[in-house]
Structure 1
C-alpha cells in the first residue's frame, strides 16, 4: 500500500526553468508514456538522471526529479506539498462536474493528499494497527489464504495468468478480511475500488468514465460508512473495530474523516500489493540464477521482495507541488511548480546503489524508496510485505516448474505512476 498520486489530464501552465541543465550532450527528452518508455523505462530514466537529476520538462510541464539525493530532499522538505486534489478536479470534464463535489471532498480526506500537521493527525489514528507487530497477527491467515488460492487457481503443470490467478485475488481476499468486508459484498466492493483507481491513476479520460469513477467513490464511501456504524454496534476482529476501540474517532478525527481514509486504504492496498507480487515474480523468472539462489535458501525470499521493490517496484513516481519558492540542487523551484518525484530512477542511482541495474536477491538492503520515505512512508508497507513474501515463498518452495509462458514479452499498463503488468502468463 504505497503512497498514491494523481495525474491531471490537463496539466497546469508551464513554469520557466530556473537554471540551465547540467552539461552533457546526446540526451533527447521523451514522453514518459511513449509505449517503448512505458514498457522499458529504466534505460531512459538512467539517461535522464545522468543528464540532469533535477530536470525542467517543458514536455510534461514539471520538474523531473530522478537523483536519489535531490529526491530525498523533496521527501523531507515541507516546501514540497502533497496537496493535489485541486489539479485532479480541474481535469474532470465539464459534463461530469455535477458528480464531482462530494467525490473530491472524500479525496481531500485521504492522508496522502494532506500535509503536516493535518497528515500527522489523520495518520496517528491508524498507527498502532499498521505496526509490524499488529500486522503479524494476520500471518497465519495470510499463509493459509495463499495456499488455498494457489491450490485452487495454480495447478502444477498447468498454464495460466499469475496476475489474474493469484496476484490480484489474494490481496483482495486479505484486505477484505482485514477491513471486515463480508465475502458476499466482495464483488461490489472491488468493482468500486477498480473504478476509483481509474480516477486516481488517471485512466478515466472520457466524461462517461469520470462519471462512473466519481459515483463509485461515493458508493464506496457510503458502504464503508455503513460498515463503521455496524462495527460501533457490533465490534469484531477487524481494522474498523480496532480503530473505533482506540477512542480517537469523534475526538481527534471525525467519523467522516475516518470513513474517507478507509476508502484510501481499500483502494491503495490491493493495487500496490498485486503489482509488487507480479513484478517480483517476473524479476525472479527473468533471472534464473537469482531464482535458483532463493530456491536453494528460501530464507532469502524477504530479500527478494525488497530487491523487487527497488529494482522494478509497483510505483514509478509520485506527484507533488511546490508550496513556496525553494532551491533544489541549484535549481530555483517556484511556488506552484509541479514536481514528478521519480522513485523508479532514484532506486537505480549509482551514487546510492552499487551496480544498480543488476537484480540481486543478495543485495540485502531495504534502503530503497519503493514505499516512499518520511512522513508519507507507506503506512501499509508491513501488510504488503507480509502478503508478497507469503506468495513468493510458496511459489519458490512448491512450484519447481514455474516458468514464463508464451513467446511475447510481458505487457505493461500505460501509467505515469504505477508499474503494473496487464498479465503474467506462466506455466505452473
Structure 2
C-alpha cells in the first residue's frame, strides 16, 4: 500500500511540474531558435504562436541572417508570404544560384518588398540572362555584391546606382565593360578575376576610397598606359594591389603612397621587367609596403634582387613559379630587418645555401613556407637548427611540402635537442 501511495505521489509531482510549451520562459524559446537548422524552420516555429513571433523578432534583430533563394522557391505561395513577412526585415545576405531558375522568379518581388535591409548578394552560375539582376536596381542598402559567371564572354547588364553605400564588388569569369562601377564614393574593394575587360578607358577607377584592387588573370581587349596612370592618380588610399598578366602594372606601384600589399603575376622576359619601379621603391625603402608576392617566369637580375633587398618595410615576401631565382640572389637581401615570413613555391634552382643566406640576413624571420622546391634537403633543417641555436630566443617554423626533406630528420639528435628552436611541419600549406 505504501508503494502505491509513493507512486501516486511521484506521478502527482510530475504532473505538477509539467509545463505547456506556450508557458516556456522567453529565454528557453530563444535557445530553441538557435537549435533549428535553417531560417525557414525558425520562421515556421515563430508562426506557431504570437509569443514565439515576439521572441523571434528580438532574437533575429541581434543577428545577421542569410537566405538561399532556392529554399523559398520550393514553398507554396501562402508559406512564402508568411516567411517574408516574418523574416524579411532581418535578412542581410542573399545567395542566388542562377542555374536553379529557368525564368525570372516571383521571389524577386518578395525580396524587393520585404528585405529592405539586405546588404550582401552572392550570385553564382550567372549567364548573360542574369536571373535576379533586377534586385540590384530595386534595393538601396547593398554593400557587397559578388557575381560568379559561367562564361567569360557573357556581357552583364545591371544597375547598382541606387546603392550609394556599396563597399565591395567582385566579378569572376565574366565580361566587364567598365561602366557599372563609376561614382560609388564608399567602394573600398574591387575584385575582377578571370574576366574579359572591354573599354578600359571607361574603367570605373575614380574611386577615392578604394583600398583593395585585384585584377587577377584578366584579359583586356584594349590596354593602354592611361589605365595604370589613372589608378595611380585616383586611388590614393589603395592599400592592396593584385595584378595578373598585366605587362605595364609595375610602374604604378611606386606611385601609390599607402600600398601595403602587392601581388604581381606575369610571364615577362628580362627586357620587359621594369626595373624603374623597383629602384623607386628601394629609394623609398619600400615606403609602407609590407607584403610582396612575385609570380611568373620573368628574369630576375642581381640589380633586381638588390632593389628587393632594400624594401625595409617588408614583413612578407613570396616567390612562385620562377625557375630563374637562385642562391646568388639572396646575397643582396641586406636590408629586410622586419621580414617575418618568406614563401617559396615551384622554384627549382634555390637550394639550402640560398635559404640559409636568407635566415642569416633577416633577424626577425620566424616562418618559411616551402612548396615543390626539390633542391631543399634535410641539411637545410639541420643548418637552421644550428643557426637559430646561436641566436638567443629566435624561433623558426618550417612548413614544407614537395621538398627533399624527409621524416627521418625529425629523429635526428640535433633536432631533438632541448635547445632546438626550429619546428618542422609537413603540411599542404598554401603559399
TM-score, length of structure 2 as denominator length? 0.19
Tell me which protein shows more helix as a share of its residues. Answer: 1
Report the structure number with the largest CA radius of gyration. 2
Structure number with the bigger relative contact order (C-alpha 8 A, sep ≥ 6) is: 1
Instruction: Normalising by structure 1, report the TM-score.
Output: 0.19
Higher strand share: 2
